[in-house]
């Protein structure tokens, strides 16, 4: 049948599937890096203290993009163009979560609401990233080809999530609690729908590349829809809670480098 482990094993074992997987991941990471870089540059005077952490967040995501491209290179592969239906960050932006790219391209400083929108969007998407990387680390943390990359990215995504909790709690204490809760809820509901759509689109392509039977494809689609049903009913709540993390100031200091990758 299928499990996350067997699914990912199939992808790693097939050049075309691996190429698509790493290309999609690299694109999302690089996009996240760009967004964070722009946000760091546009923070208003009143929030300049956040700037080094946002910049570090961006530097980490850029590094993840380079790591995924390095994984491709090591196998002698080049990135493929990422189909629109699998472009998670773009689809989220279209749903109005986070900050619009138009806004980020301008030179106007961000307002308080923008900062809440950025942190809430990050709180939700970093939870997804951290959970996915934890799952990968559980099964592939010792894999000779991808293990090191998976462990490094997993560690970073957990830091990003901790940072979002800490900064949102700081803003909540400053009186923005209601706006934060409202924004988090909107982001979470949009994200679970985008995650479902992207999962369906990625798995449809993987199914074609890997020659899955119709029943296997149907089973995987049903699994994605069932998971969405769970997230729509209950699961989204895990993405909107705020708790002071054990790891404080997780993004204080410069990004760890990854010279073996890039």
User: Please, which of residues 14-43 interact with Fe ion by CB under 5 A?
Assistant: 29
In whole angstroms, the minimum distance from the beta carbon of 212 to Fe ion comes to 28
Nearer to Fe ion, 29 or 191 (CB): 29
Nearest distance from residue 197's CB to Fe ion, in Å?
A: 20
Asked if 63 is part of the footprint of Fe ion (rule: CB under 5 A), the reply reads: no
Site size toward Fe ion, by CB under 5 A: 7
Distance between CA atoms of 152 and 156, rounded to whole angstroms? 6
The distance of closest approach from Cβ of residue 66 to Fe ion in the complex, given in angstroms and rounded to an integer, is 11
Give the Cα separation of 78 and 204 in Å (integer).
Answer: 21
In the block, which residue shows the tokens 């909540």?
A: 172
69 binds Fe ion (CB under 5 A): no
Q: Does 167 bind Fe ion (CB under 5 A)?
A: no
Buried b (16+ CB within 10 A) or exposed e, 147-177: ebbbbbbbebbbbbbbbbbbbbbebbeeebe
Region near Fe ion per CB under 5 A, out of 4-12, 154-162, 166-174, 195-203: 154-162
Choose the stretch contacting Fe ion; rule: CB under 5 A; options: 8-16, 42-50, 69-77, 121-129: 121-129
Nearest CB to Fe ion, comparing residues 126 and 167: 126
**Which of 63, 64, 121, 123 touches Fe ion by CB under 5 A?**
64
How far is it, in rounded angstroms, from Cα 202 to Cα 17?
10
128 sits near Fe ion (criterion: CB under 5 A) = no
Residues, the chain: 262
Most distant CA atoms of the chain, gap in Å: 57
Of 160, 165, 176, 195, the one binding Fe ion by CB under 5 A: 160
DSSP per-residue codes, 163-228: HHHHHHHHHIIIIIHHHHHHHHHHHHHHHHHHHHHHHHHHHHHHHHHHT--HHHHHHHHHHHHHHH
By CB under 5 A, residue 56 contacts Fe ion: no
Residue with tokens 């208003």: 44
What residue ranges bind Fe ion (CB under 5 A)?
29, 61, 64, 126, 129, 157, 160
């Amino acid at each position: 049948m299928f499990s996350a482990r067997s699914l990912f094993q199939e992808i790693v074992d097939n050049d075309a599937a691996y190429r698509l997987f790493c290309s999609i991941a690299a694109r999302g990471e690089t996009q996240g890096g760009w967004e964070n870089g722009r946000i760091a540059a546009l923070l208003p005077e009143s929030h300049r203290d956040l700037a080094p952490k946002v910049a570090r967040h961006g530097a980490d995501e850029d590094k993840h993009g380079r790591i995924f491209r390095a994984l491709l290179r090591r196998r002698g592969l080049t990135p493929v163009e990422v189909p629109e239906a699998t472009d998670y960050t773009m689809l989220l932006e279209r749903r109005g979560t986070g900050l619009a790219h138009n806004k980020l391209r301008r030179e106007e400083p961000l307002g308080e609401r923008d900062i809440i929108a950025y942190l809430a969007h990050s709180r939700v998407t970093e939870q997804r990233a951290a959970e996915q990387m934890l799952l990968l680390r559980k099964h592939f943390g010792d894999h000779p080809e991808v293990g090191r990359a998976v462990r490094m990215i997993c560690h970073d995504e957990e830091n990003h999530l901790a940072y979002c909790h800490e900064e949102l709690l700081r803003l909540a204490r400053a009186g923005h609690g209601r706006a934060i809760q409202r924004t988090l809820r909107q982001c979470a509901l949009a994200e679970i729908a985008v995650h479902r759509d992207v999962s369906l689109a990625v798995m449809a392509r993987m199914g074609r590349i890997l020659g899955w039977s119709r029943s296997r494809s149907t089973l995987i689609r049903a699994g994605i829809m069932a998971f969405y049903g769970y997230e729509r009913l209950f699961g989204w709540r895990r993405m909107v809670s705020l708790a002071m993390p054990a790891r404080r100031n997780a993004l204080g200091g410069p990004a760890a480098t990854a010279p073996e990758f890039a």
